[in-house]
Amino acid sequence: MSLNEMFAALQQRVARKIKEKRVGFCLHTLLLGLSLGFRSIIWVRHRLYKQKVLIPKRANICVVSIGNIAAGGVGKTPFALMLAHQLQAVAILTRGYRSEAEKLKEPMVVNSAKLAPPEVCGDEAHMMAKKLGDKALVLSGRHRFIAAQMAAAKGCRVALLDDGMQHRKLARDFEIVLLNGADPFGCGAYLPRGFLREDPCRLRSADLLVVVGKVNKKNKRMIEELSGGVPCVQAQMVLSECMDMNKEEKRLDQAKVGVFCAIGNPHRFVESVQAAGADVCAHSFFPDHSLFDEATLLNFSLEAKRQGADFLCCTEKDWGKVSDALKRKLALEPHCIRAELVIEENRQAFDEAVQTIKQLAEEKR
């Protein structure tokens, strides 16, 4: 097992214990102390911005933040893609986690015509540029204000700030917050005792809430109380297709598969594959945004084959991080599973948000 896999396994083990409320006294005490420290830092930072000791920079473009209050994958990038298709002259600003772009002084323009590899521009930037083509400009780098100004200079009128809720340095004109329907408040504690990375009271500052997945009555009531009546839509991540290396579609139902991925919520991906009718007989999880180690993937493919898997599958974001040469070396053929976010309830609120963003963009001209 590689160091990346060991770290991911430890993360997942602790996360499982927290979700299942099986944290022992010693671990609970350690995590709680760290959690209180993290919460204090968040509180102080929030107060500094509220008292205008720290002032966000305002770019010459309509900035739309897409974020969440808890750590873990909830569908921010699929939502950004969906929103980008509803707008004109749009740019997507992403940090480029664990890539060379994250370390650059100036954000990188990710061009779909000459696509940089994921390790250079970031896995999310790579996927979004590939999917959007000329529909949107993708900029990758940690300096989001510079990226927003670059987008404005290139004629864009709207900048979508992917995973932007915690990035307070850049002023936003519209705030969209996504929540995990199964656990909207990160097990009720801040990192690392829970998964919160923001005060839930900040839901009141949002312009639109998007709850992804089914939500029970208790959580729905808490969301309504904490948000103070902010418009809310219900959405669901839906697997759209499973493609092999020749871009031919493969059925998942009744198939036996091995799953590998490097995303924020790998168990949700596994559950989605199972919901599509597949039997997941083996899996390999890596830390979010990380690259795949060749030896580890080769060993995993052999293990999945021993477990009786018919083929391997991974997310669309991860697909671009595996070279064609490595794909051909694996003991089982890998497949790319594409997913999309589908709005199931209150589509009107989403449509009204799109119109508001368009109006804000016009006012910025």
- Please check whether residues 209 and 118 belong to one and the same domain: yes
Q: For position 142, what pLDDT does the model report?
A: 94
Write the pLDDT tens digit of every residue in 117-147: 999 999 999 999 999 999 999 999 999 999 9
- Residue 23 in any domain: the answer is no
Largest separation between any pair of C-alpha atoms in the chain: 61
Overall number of domains in the chain: 2
Q: Distance between CA 361 and CA 365 in Å, rounded?
A: 7
- Please check whether residues 207 and 224 belong to one and the same domain: yes
Find the domain containing 71 and state its range.
Answer: 62-231+346-364
Say whether 258 sits in a helix, a strand or coil. Answer: strand
Mean pLDDT (whole number) for 49-77 = 93
- Residue 286 in any domain: the answer is yes
Q: For position 268, what pLDDT does the model report?
A: 86
Q: For position 87, what pLDDT does the model report?
A: 96
- Please check whether residues 308 and 360 belong to one and the same domain: no
Q: Distance between CA 23 and CA 76 in Å, rounded?
A: 29
- Please check whether residues 201 and 116 belong to one and the same domain: yes
- Please check whether residues 89 and 155 belong to one and the same domain: yes
Non-local (6+) Cβ contacts of 50 within 8 A are none
Q: Is the pLDDT of residue 339 over 70?
A: yes
Q: For position 16, what pLDDT does the model report?
A: 64
The first and second tokens of residue 361, run together, are: 């963009």
Q: Distance between CA 230 and CA 246 in Å, rounded?
A: 45
* Number of alpha carbons in the 13 Å side-chain half-sphere of residue 242: 20
- Residue 273 in any domain: the answer is yes
Average pLDDT of the chain to the nearest whole number: 91
- Please check whether residues 359 and 311 belong to one and the same domain: no
Specify the CATH number for the domain of residue 204: 3.40.50
| Cβ–Cβ < 8 Å for 98, 122 | yes
- Residue 55 in any domain: the answer is no
Q: Distance between CA 322 and CA 299 in Å, rounded?
A: 15
Task: Quickly state the pLDDT bin for 56 (edges 50, 70, 90).
Answer: very high
Q: Distance between CA 210 and CA 218 in Å, rounded?
A: 17
Q: Is the pLDDT of residue 4 over 60?
A: no
- Residue 108 in any domain: the answer is yes
* Number of alpha carbons in the 13 Å side-chain half-sphere of residue 258: 23
Q: Which residues pair with 340 in a beta bridge?
A: 238
- Residue 169 in any domain: the answer is yes
- Residue 17 in any domain: the answer is no
- Please check whether residues 185 and 260 belong to one and the same domain: no
Q: Is the pLDDT of residue 312 over 90?
A: yes
- Residue 29 in any domain: the answer is no
Q: For position 10, what pLDDT does the model report?
A: 54
- Please check whether residues 331 and 212 belong to one and the same domain: no
Shortest CA distance to 219 belongs to which of 208, 234, 206, 207?
234
Sign of CA dihedral 60, 64, 69, 73: negative
- Please check whether residues 204 and 300 belong to one and the same domain: no
* Higher pLDDT pick, 342 / 17: 342
Task: Quickly state the pLDDT bin for 197 (edges 50, 70, 90).
Answer: very high
Q: Distance between CA 131 and CA 116 in Å, rounded?
A: 14
